[in-house]
Amino acid sequence: MRSSFRAASSVVLAGLFLASCSSAPTVSPAITSAPSSGSGARGGEGPGRAIAVGAGPQSTYTVQKQPPAGSCHFRYEKGEPLEDPACTPGAISPAVTQANLKSTICRKGGYTSGIRPSTSVTGKEKTLNAASYGYKGPMADAEYDHLISLQLGGDPNDARNLWVEPPDPGHKAGGGVNNLKDPVETKLHTAVCAGKVTLTAAQKAIVRDWTTALSTLGLG
């Protein structure tokens, strides 16, 4: 009698165990998604080298050493002059970041005039850099240009961020500085301050090729 009871109990317990196993929930593997920036701005950074960081604004600027004479070479895209990446790879200011745009380059009343080196410094650098690039045209027609403009957080006086930019094709000699890069810089600045693109994206786009910077970022 006891053996029969034990046997019956074993059958009942086994049934309960199987029932509980069949009703156990199935656990799905967790799905991990990349976090969203939530900023609404186009990042556009992508892979690639980081841009060098310069010294930033200084109370007193000194003339910076330039590449050896004849060591730099202009490139041209549809006739427009571009810098030599080996001589002028660009440099950014540590004083300008995505977090402080409103108090720096997007500040009402302007930002660049207070950090720009004097012509007593840049005039000497321009002459030396013209020799670096082998520029033979009228100096008054060439702009000593910040590759990453000050209004985009470029370093004010880092030699890696400055180059003698020749005038545009068809420019009349003696007509003064005239190039299409300046309007591109202004449009990028407007887009950065409006939150349409990130500061880093704008800087990388103009370093890559200023003639395609706007189209690369979907700005025109």
Q: Tens of pLDDT along 181-193?
A: 999 999 999 999 9
pLDDT band for position 172 (cuts 50, 70, 90): low
What's the chain's Rg over C-alpha atoms? 31
Range from 36-40, 71-75, 92-96, 189-193 carrying the lowest mean pLDDT:
36-40
Q: Is the pLDDT of residue 9 over 80?
A: no
Mean pLDDT, residues 186-204 taken together: 98
pLDDT number for residue 41: 59
Task: Dump pLDDT digits (tens) for 21-68.
Answer: 433 333 333 322 233 333 445 444 444 579 999 999 999 999 999 999
Residue 59: strand, helix, or coil: coil
pLDDT band for position 177 (cuts 50, 70, 90): low
What the block records as the tokens of 69 is 């004479």
Q: Is the pLDDT of residue 8 over 90?
A: no
The rounded distance, in Å, linking the Cα atoms of 52 and 1 is 90
Q: Is the pLDDT of residue 84 over 90?
A: yes
Q: Is the pLDDT of residue 1 over 50?
A: no
CB 96 within 8 A of CB 153: yes
Q: Burial level of 121, CB count in 10 A (0-12/13-18/19+)?
A: middle
Backbone angles phi, psi at 12, to 5 degrees: -65, -45
Residue 163, strand partner residues: 145
Other C-beta atoms lying within 10 Å of the C-beta of residue 33? 5
**Residue whose pair of structure tokens reads 């004849």 in the numeric block:** 70
What the block records as the tokens of 60 is 């007193």
pLDDT band for position 175 (cuts 50, 70, 90): low
CB 208 within 8 A of CB 77: no
pLDDT number for residue 74: 97
pTM for the structure as a whole: 0.78
Q: Is the pLDDT of residue 215 over 90?
A: yes
Average pLDDT score, the chain: 82
pLDDT number for residue 111: 92
Each residue of 45-64: b (16+ CB within 10 Å) or e? Answer: eeeeeebeebebbeeebebb
